[in-house]
Amino acid sequence: MENLFWIGHASFYIKNKAGLNIFIDPFNISEETAKNKADVILITHAHFDHCSKKDIEKIATQDTEIIAAPGCLSELDYKKLKIIQPNESLSVKGIEIETVPAYNIKKERVQFHPKSNNWVGYIIDVDGTKIYHAGDTDFIDEMNGLKSKNIEFALLPMGGTYTMDEEEAVEAAKAINAKFIVPMHYKNLLGKVGSERIEKELKNKKRVNALILKEVQEPTYSFNNR
């Protein structure tokens, strides 16, 4: 595993030892980032800031494998597209992928990401490192079963309004018990929020603080130097 890059919002890419680029919810891709053509693209759900066709087109080639939740993309438009449901597993170009449900349960936001849409988060096993991108979600019961997955990096939304807020993200982090927590979905469209609660609650464990995450020109986290 080489590096995990945060593009911003809920968008990341991962470069593995073989040089493959795995993008998750590509959004607002810069020209510089677009030079890293995608081998695999994972889309968590249909909202424009996660399923952006113009950004997919910037990084996709004829060989790019695209995995997407229902309602995002049409198989008529993409030759190498697979529509996936929650609680499925597959292998793509040697990368093991599992899907986890992603939905709202809070009354004030349940309409944004209904469970019935079958939208997803992803657990990606790359070079033996498991990364969980939660998608847009609340702290749901399914997260209580993820501790046994031995997740190393959990990418968790914490912006509130449409997803977990900071307090709920702390509870999710405790349930998942990943070695590193990477807060996401809290800048760009939602404005910057603090991560004081996360920092305070998790200060005695190795964590990545939301406020030190860097944009894609530098690695968000170097797996070789942890």
Q: What is the pLDDT of residues 163-204, one digit of tens each?
A: 998 889 888 988 998 888 888 876 544 444 445 556 566 655
| DSSP 3-state of 33 | helix
Q: Output the pLDDT for position 210.
A: 38
Q: Distance from CA of residue 135 to its chain's centroid?
A: 5
149-163: average pLDDT: 88
Distance CA 186, CA 105 (A): 19
Q: Output the pLDDT for position 21.
A: 95
DSSP state, residue 171: H
Percent of the chain with pLDDT over 70: 81
Distance CA 23, CA 5 (A): 9
R_g of the chain computed on alpha carbons: 16
Q: Output the pLDDT for position 63.
A: 93
Phi-psi region of 64 (alpha: psi -120 to 50; beta: other; left: phi over 0): beta
In this structure, are strands 180-184 and 129-133 parallel, antiparallel, or unpaired? unpaired
Mean pLDDT, rounded, of the chain: 83
Please name the CATH architecture into which domain 3-225 falls.
4-Layer Sandwich (3.60)
Percent of the chain with pLDDT over 90: 57
Phi-psi region of 85 (alpha: psi -120 to 50; beta: other; left: phi over 0): beta
Distance CA 103, CA 116 (A): 9
Domain layout of the chain by residue ranges: 3-225
Q: Output the pLDDT for position 200.
A: 63
Q: Output the pLDDT for position 2.
A: 46
**pLDDT tens, position by position, 95-144:** 999 999 999 999 999 999 999 999 999 999 988 999 999 999 999 999 99
